[in-house]
Copies of this chain bind each other. A is one copy, B any other.
Amino acid sequence: LVYSRLKADLLEDPAFSFTEESRQWIDRMLDYNVPGGKLNRGISVVNSYKILKGGQLNDDEFFLASVLGWCVEWLQAYFLVLDDIMDNSHTRRGQPCWFRLPKVGLIAANDGILLRNHIPRILYRYFREKTYYVHLLDLFNEVEFQTASGQMLDLITTHKGEEDLSKYKLPVYNRIVQYKTAFYSFYLPVACALLMAGENLDNYIDVKNILVDMGTYFQVQDDYLDCFGDPQVIGKIGTDIEDFKCSWLVVQALERANEQQLKVLSENYGNPDPSCVTAIKTIYTDLNLQAVFSKYEQESYEQLISAIEGQQSKPVQELLKSFLHKIYRRHK
């Protein structure tokens, strides 16, 4: 419902004089790309704000928090549309990638740009009178910059045609994940809620660091489940090995492999042939990466809990724990 209202606003934006054809294009493009995800990031804004407020939200507060939640979803849609073009991907959320549709093609690049441009249009409409308006703009700008920078790191590290496993080391992995995923997926929704609650983000550097660490932990899980998760449960068949991804698993394997195993890794990683994929998975199992992951998961959890309990504010503790418990030991 909030989504429909935001879409209707955008289709009547007075800053552009729509033709019928262009209005239909945007309508279809939004429906194809913006809803349809799990909406975790968007819902997080509302939940976080509820906790910070210490109770129920009135209609207006709920609406505004939902609007910010949708802005995070719009940001995500923008990143995904462009990422799929750059990765030459085929499917997304169980349907063809937007740029794969015959009528779309590289127009999708501009559609990604438009999705990004919709965010300040929405913020301007609903928040321009708020004292925290300028901080919202700064926040979205900073987080987008970090995400695009993480994407650059990812692209130049895992560059097609120059496959080179020697670059896949843990500090590189951590840096890519923090910038490319953690800031916008974990920090941004909470930061939106903090701004709505009247807080100054400069006082929440620790909270930012905790959320970025949680986002890293989340991505490690994602990489683990890509190989060892149940496709029935996670809803897709992982292809990180075939895609030569800088996955946490291959980073761990490279750290632990003997010379013989290193040879197998470098000869088979990134090859879509099923026998190559099996060779890689065999090494993962031989190196006992399932146990390495369990240990990592346990230690991350304990470190996060102790960092959270070091926070002064009880609502902030509650908020961070609710995030952590949503993802701890997840299977999908």
Contact = CB atoms under 8 A, between A and B. Distances in A.
Contacts of A26: 152
Given A15-B146, A145-B117, A175-B19, A109 B124 contact: no
A137 interface: yes
Given A117-B141, A117-B145, A145-B121, A19 B153 contact: yes
Contacts of A146: 15-16
A137 B119 CA distance: 13
B21 A156 contact: yes
Interface in A228-268: none
A109 B137 contact: no
Contact of A109 (B82, B133, B145, B159): B82
Contacts of A145: 13, 15-16, 114, 117-118, 120-121
Given A17-B175, A114-B149, A107 B137 contact: no
B107 A155 contact: yes
Given A19-B175, A110-B148, A141 B124 contact: yes
Interface string A13-35: 10111010110011000000000
A159 B179 CA distance: 36
Contact of A16 (B109, B110, B120, B149): B149
Contacts of A85: 106, 109
A148 B137 CA distance: 19
A8 interface: no
A144 interface: yes
A151 interface: yes
A197 interface: no
A292 interface: no
B22 A149 contact: yes
A159 B104 CA distance: 9
Contacts of A103: 159
Contacts of A327: none
A137 B136 CA distance: 11
22 contacts: A15-B145, A15-B146, A15-B149, A16-B146, A16-B149, A19-B172, A22-B156, A26-B152, A85-B109, A86-B107, A88-B106, A103-B159, A109-B109, A110-B151, A117-B141, A117-B145, A117-B148, A118-B145, A120-B138, A120-B145, A121-B145, A137-B137
